[in-house]
Amino acid sequence: MPALQRTEAAVRARLLDVRSYSVDLDLTRGGTLYRSTTVIRFGCAEPGRDSFVDVDPSALLRAELNGRPLDPAALDGNRLALPGLAAENELVVEADMAYSRTSEGLHRFTDPADGAAYVYASCGPDLAPKMFACFDQPDLKAPFTFTVTAPADWTVIGNGTSARLGEGRWEISPVGPVSTYLVTVVGGPLHAVRAEHDGIPLGLYARRSLAAELDREAEELFAVTRASLDRLHGLFEERYPFGSYDQAFVPEFNWGAMENPGCVVFRDELLFRSAPTEPQREMRAMVVCHEMAHMWFGDLVTMTWWDDLWLNESFAEMLGYRIAADSTRFTGAWTSFSVKRKGWGYDADQRGSTHPVAATAMGSVAEALVNFDGISYAKGASVLRQLVHWLGDKAFFAGLNAYFARHRWGNAELADFLAALGEAGGRDVSAWADAWLRTSGVDTLRVEVETGADGTTLASAVLVNDGTRPHRVRVGVYDTADGGAVVLRERLDADVAAGGRTPLPELAGAARPALLLPNDGDLTWALVRLDAHSAATAAASLSRIEDELTRAVLWEHARDLVRAGELPAAGYLDLVAAHLPAETAVTIVEAVLRFAADHVVARYLDPAARPDALRRLGGTARTLLDRPGADESLRIAALRGVVATACDPERLAVLDAWLDGRDLPGGVPFDNDLRWSALLQLAAGGAAGEDRIAAELAADPSDTGEQGAARARAALPSPDAKERAWRELFTPDLLSNHLLAATADGFWRSGSEELRQGYVDRYFAQVPSAGERGGAVARALGQVLFPSGSARPGTVRAAEECLARTDLTPTLRRLVSDELDDLRRALTHRG
Query: Any idea which residues carry the catalytic annotation?
Result: 291
Smallest gap, in angstroms, from Cβ of residue 120 to Zn ion? 17
Virtual torsion, Cα 7, 369, 52, 70, nearest 10 deg? 160
287 binds Zn ion (CB under 5 A): no
| x/- track of binding to Zn ion for residues 321-360 (CB under 5 A) | ----------------------------------------
Closer to Zn ion at the Cβ: 289 or 683? 289
Residues of span 417-436 touching Zn ion by CB under 5 A: none
Q: What's the farthest any 2 CA atoms get from each other in the chain?
A: 93
Tell me the window of 27-35, 309-317, 646-654, 733-741 that interacts with Zn ion (CB under 5 A). 309-317
3-class DSSP state of 151: coil
Smallest gap, in angstroms, from Cβ of residue 255 to Zn ion? 8
Tell me the window of 11-19, 314-322, 596-604, 638-646 that interacts with Zn ion (CB under 5 A). 314-322
Tell me the window of 306-314, 394-402, 456-464, 643-651 that interacts with Zn ion (CB under 5 A). 306-314
Residues of span 224-243 touching Zn ion by CB under 5 A: none
Dihedral sign for Cα 32, 124, 224, 222, please.
negative
Smallest gap, in angstroms, from Cβ of residue 259 to Zn ion? 6
Tell me the window of 158-166, 315-323, 425-433, 660-668 that interacts with Zn ion (CB under 5 A). 315-323
Ordered DSSP codes for 264-311: EEEEGGGG-SSPPPHHHHHHHHHHHHHHHHHTTBTTTBEESSGGGHHH
* 651 backbone dihedrals φ, ψ, rounded to 5°: -75, -30
Closer to Zn ion at the Cβ: 182 or 402? 182
The answer to whether the bond into 129 is cis (omega within 30° of 0) is: no
Interface size with Zn ion, residues (CB under 5 A): 2
Q: How far, in whole angstroms, is CA 283 from its chain's centroid? A: 11
Tell me the window of 197-205, 233-241, 312-320, 579-587 that interacts with Zn ion (CB under 5 A). 312-320
Tell me the window of 316-324, 400-408, 554-562, 688-696 that interacts with Zn ion (CB under 5 A). 316-324
Closer to Zn ion at the Cβ: 293 or 816? 293
d(CA 823, CA 791): 6
Closer to Zn ion at the Cβ: 313 or 703? 313
d(CA 641, CA 655): 12
Which residues lie closer than 8 Å to 768 by C-beta, 6 or more apart? Answer: 802, 805, 807, 808, 812
Closer to Zn ion at the Cβ: 297 or 305? 297
3-class DSSP state of 637: helix
Smallest gap, in angstroms, from Cβ of residue 316 to Zn ion? 4
Which residue sits closest to Zn ion, CB atoms considered?
316
Closer to Zn ion at the Cβ: 150 or 381? 381
Smallest gap, in angstroms, from Cβ of residue 596 to Zn ion? 29
d(CA 628, CA 451): 42
Smallest gap, in angstroms, from Cβ of residue 413 to Zn ion? 18
d(CA 681, CA 684): 5
d(CA 270, CA 275): 11
Which residue from 438, 405, 402 is spatially nearest to 422, judged by alpha carbons?
Answer: 402
Question: Would you put residue 610 in left (φ > 0), alpha (ψ -120 to 50) or beta?
Answer: alpha
Label the pairing between strands 302-303 and 257-258.
unpaired
Q: Which helix (H) or strand (E) holds 755?
A: helix 753-766
Long-range pairs, 208-212, Cβ under 8 A, ≥24: 208/111, 208/114, 208/116, 209/111, 209/113, 209/114, 209/116, 209/702, 210/249, 210/268, 210/271, 210/273
Inter-residue contact 802 to 767 (CB < 8 Å): yes
Smallest gap, in angstroms, from Cβ of residue 180 to Zn ion? 17
Q: Which helix (H) or strand (E) holds 36?
A: strand 33-44
Closer to Zn ion at the Cβ: 235 or 796? 235
Closer to Zn ion at the Cβ: 283 or 561? 283
3-class DSSP state of 804: coil
Q: Which helix (H) or strand (E) holds 145?
A: strand 144-149
Q: Which amino acid is at 319?
A: L
Smallest gap, in angstroms, from Cβ of residue 166 to Zn ion? 37
**CA atoms within 13 Å, Cβ hemisphere of 638:** 25
Tell me the window of 56-64, 310-318, 334-342, 511-519 that interacts with Zn ion (CB under 5 A). 310-318
Closer to Zn ion at the Cβ: 170 or 372? 372
Closer to Zn ion at the Cβ: 316 or 398? 316
d(CA 227, CA 324): 9
Q: What are the strands, taking DSSP E only, across 153-262?
A: 155-158, 162-166, 169-172, 185-188, 190-197, 200-207, 245-250, 257-258
Smallest gap, in angstroms, from Cβ of residue 821 to Zn ion? 25
Cα 234-235-238 angle, rounded to 5 deg: 85
Smallest gap, in angstroms, from Cβ of residue 159 to Zn ion? 16
Smallest gap, in angstroms, from Cβ of residue 812 to Zn ion? 23
Closer to Zn ion at the Cβ: 294 or 813? 294
3-class DSSP state of 249: strand
Ordered DSSP codes for 422-457: HHHH-S-HHHHHHHHTS--S-EEEEEEEEE-TTSSB
Smallest gap, in angstroms, from Cβ of residue 298 to Zn ion? 7
CB count in 10 Å sphere of residue 360: 10
Tell me the window of 213-221, 311-319, 435-443, 784-792 that interacts with Zn ion (CB under 5 A). 311-319
Closer to Zn ion at the Cβ: 313 or 531? 313
Tell me the window of 308-316, 345-353, 456-464, 720-728 that interacts with Zn ion (CB under 5 A). 308-316
- Give the helix ranges, DSSP H, for 296-392: 309-327, 333-336, 342-349, 365-369, 380-391
Which residue from 739, 735, 829 is spatially nearest to 791, judged by alpha carbons?
Answer: 829
CB count in 10 Å sphere of residue 797: 11
Q: Which of 116, 156, 190, 316 binds Zn ion (CB under 5 A)?
A: 316
Residues of span 624-653 touching Zn ion by CB under 5 A: none
Closer to Zn ion at the Cβ: 131 or 309? 309
Inter-residue contact 433 to 413 (CB < 8 Å): no
Radius of gyration of the chain from its Cα atoms, rounded to whole angstroms: 27
Smallest gap, in angstroms, from Cβ of residue 390 to Zn ion? 24
| Binding interface with Zn ion (CB under 5 A) | 313, 316
